Amino acid sequence: MKIIVLGAGTIGISTAWHLLQRGHDVTVIDRQPNAALETSFANGAQISVSYCEPWANRDAPLKALKWMLSKEAPLLFRPQNPFGEGFRQYLWGLQFLANCNDRAFERNVQQLVALGSYSHAALKDIVAETGMEYNRLERGIAHFYSDQKSFDTAGEAAELMRKYGVDRRVVSKQEFLDIEPAYRAYADSIVGGTFTPGDESGDCLVFTQKLAELCKAKGAELLYGYSVTALKPSSGARGAMHSVAIQAVSTSSTAPSHMEIHKADHIVVACGSYTAPLLRTVGVSLPIYPGKGYSATFQILKPEQAPWVSTIDDSKKVAISRLGDQLRVAGTIEVGNYDLTLESDVARARCHMLSRRIEEVLPGVCDTRTAEQGGQPNYWTGLRPATPTNIPYIGQTPVRGIWVNAGHGTLGWTHGAGSGKALAELMSGHTPELAFQFYGT
């Protein structure tokens, strides 16, 4: 079958890879000059099968209200004009609220764990088959708490995860420091932790770009630098194909940009946060909304004192991962709009918080100076394609032959390999082997 995949983020490229493995003829289209240059670019790097709890839980509404007053809050709801496009944010918010109860939470966790385990196996298969290097560290993920009240709830969460087969252990402060001694200088503030030995970390950008090159070597056509401007479903007549209109991203303000129409038997929309507006043009409405997050990537100054185990700092809800000679810290979510600025007051406050926090927990280990101070913190922001449940949409839309693989929110790197594999299985007429509610089934 001739298949066009729209979007060369980690989800689109993984989908392309698995479709090629099953003998399909694949074209990938993306507006960027290479793969993984939007949300898959500088994320927290964690393959976090075991820390996959959705943001929607019974405590979230109260916390979100409290956090609305803080620019540095882990979850920030920034209300938009409800009379414009902003009404989608309110719809999304209502669906989010409907998931803030124990029953929905457990149901969502179950789906996320199933997809996570399937995905982890798929990732390991790709690595075994390709021998790919991407600063992968198979050392688990450790979570540290500096607030006793929060740590007191860690046992309950670990127990719930164990119910679904996840090995999450509650560890004392000393055990945490034995797992990752790099945090010794911050030990007085740590009250305890948890540890999931099966998790890992690695560079999503490097992985995705290398996998894209391997897709090309397997015969995929990679059309970079083209924006998708319209989707035209087939007439439904026998043998009719779907069309995609694309326009070259202009490099000059004067030259007219080049337009093309491409046709295929099937189309996969994997455009991250931009999936929802694109699918709306063919009458498919999905609650995928941008959740802005930030990261900073610092040069490590003292390699012997930098952590090897990827960690989560509970009080700031940030992930800290070592990527070769650099340390990435990433996190926070702002439910606002599609704005990608790093220049607003809120954006600056959030970025500086990341630098400050690394200096607090790992003093002197990295060059955390801001650009004004002569440093290179590589601040970055990306829009998580967030759904109210944190569960992605994987499957066929009501428009036959138009498929979706999007809405991976906080866990797209973790769930990428398996989401691509599962969709390729479905498109090839097979049932993927996992207990997951696929879209349209």
Ligand X SMILES: Cc1cc2nc3c(=O)[nH]c(=O)nc-3n(C[C@H](O)[C@H](O)[C@H](O)COP(=O)(O)OP(=O)(O)OC[C@H]3O[C@@H](n4cnc5c(N)ncnc54)[C@H](O)[C@@H]3O)c2cc1C
H and E: helices and strands count for the chain = 11, 20
Smallest distance from ligand X to CB 103, Å: 25
Q: In whole angstroms, what is the distance from residue 243 CA to residue 288 CA? A: 23
Which spans of this chain sit near ligand X (rule: CB under 6 A)? 7-12, 29-32, 36-40, 43-46, 48, 227-228, 270-272, 274, 278, 293-295, 319, 330-331, 382, 384-385, 406, 408-414
- Helix ranges (H only) for 226-316 are 275-280
**For residue 201, is it left (φ>0), alpha (ψ between -120 and 50) or beta?**
beta
Q: How many angstroms from the chain centroid is the CA of residue 166?
A: 20
Q: In whole angstroms, what is the distance from residue 35 CA to residue 323 CA? A: 19
Helix 10-21 to helix 102-130 angle (10° resolution) is: 60
Helix 204-217 to helix 10-21 angle (10° resolution) is: 30
Burial of 377 from C-beta contacts in 10 A (0-12 / 13-18 / 19+): buried
H-helix or E-strand containing 260? strand 259-264
Smallest distance from ligand X to CB 424, Å: 15
Smallest distance from ligand X to CB 208, Å: 8
By beta-carbon proximity to ligand X, the closer residue of 12 and 140 is: 12
Smallest distance from ligand X to CB 152, Å: 25
Amino acid letter for position 175: E
Smallest distance from ligand X to CB 38, Å: 4
By beta-carbon proximity to ligand X, the closer residue of 191 and 377 is: 377
By beta-carbon proximity to ligand X, the closer residue of 7 and 74 is: 7
Smallest distance from ligand X to CB 227, Å: 4
By beta-carbon proximity to ligand X, the closer residue of 191 and 268 is: 268
Q: In whole angstroms, what is the distance from residue 213 CA to residue 302 CA? A: 34
By beta-carbon proximity to ligand X, the closer residue of 182 and 406 is: 406
Q: How many angstroms from the chain centroid is the CA of residue 278?
A: 19
Q: In whole angstroms, what is the distance from residue 20 CA to residue 129 CA? A: 14
**8-state DSSP, 181:** G
By beta-carbon proximity to ligand X, the closer residue of 385 and 388 is: 385
By beta-carbon proximity to ligand X, the closer residue of 140 and 331 is: 331
Smallest distance from ligand X to CB 92, Å: 16
Strand order in the sheet with 242-248: 226-232, 242-248, 259-264
Smallest distance from ligand X to CB 294, Å: 6
By beta-carbon proximity to ligand X, the closer residue of 115 and 191 is: 115
**Based on C-alpha coordinates, what's the Rg of the chain?**
21
By beta-carbon proximity to ligand X, the closer residue of 177 and 270 is: 270
By beta-carbon proximity to ligand X, the closer residue of 27 and 295 is: 295
List all residues 6 or more positions away from 73 whose beta carbon is below 8 Å from its beta carbon.
67, 332
Smallest distance from ligand X to CB 102, Å: 24
For every residue of 88-157, DSSP letters joined together read: HHHHHHHHHHHT-SHHHHHHHHHHHHHHHHHHHHHHHHHHHHH---S--B-S-EEEEES-HHHHHTHHHH
Q: In whole angstroms, what is the distance from residue 323 CA to residue 134 CA? A: 8
In total, the chain counts a number of residues equal to: 441
Smallest distance from ligand X to CB 163, Å: 22
Smallest distance from ligand X to CB 216, Å: 16
By beta-carbon proximity to ligand X, the closer residue of 289 and 294 is: 294
Is there a contact between 208 and 40 (Cβ–Cβ < 8 Å)? yes
Is there a contact between 273 and 100 (Cβ–Cβ < 8 Å)? no
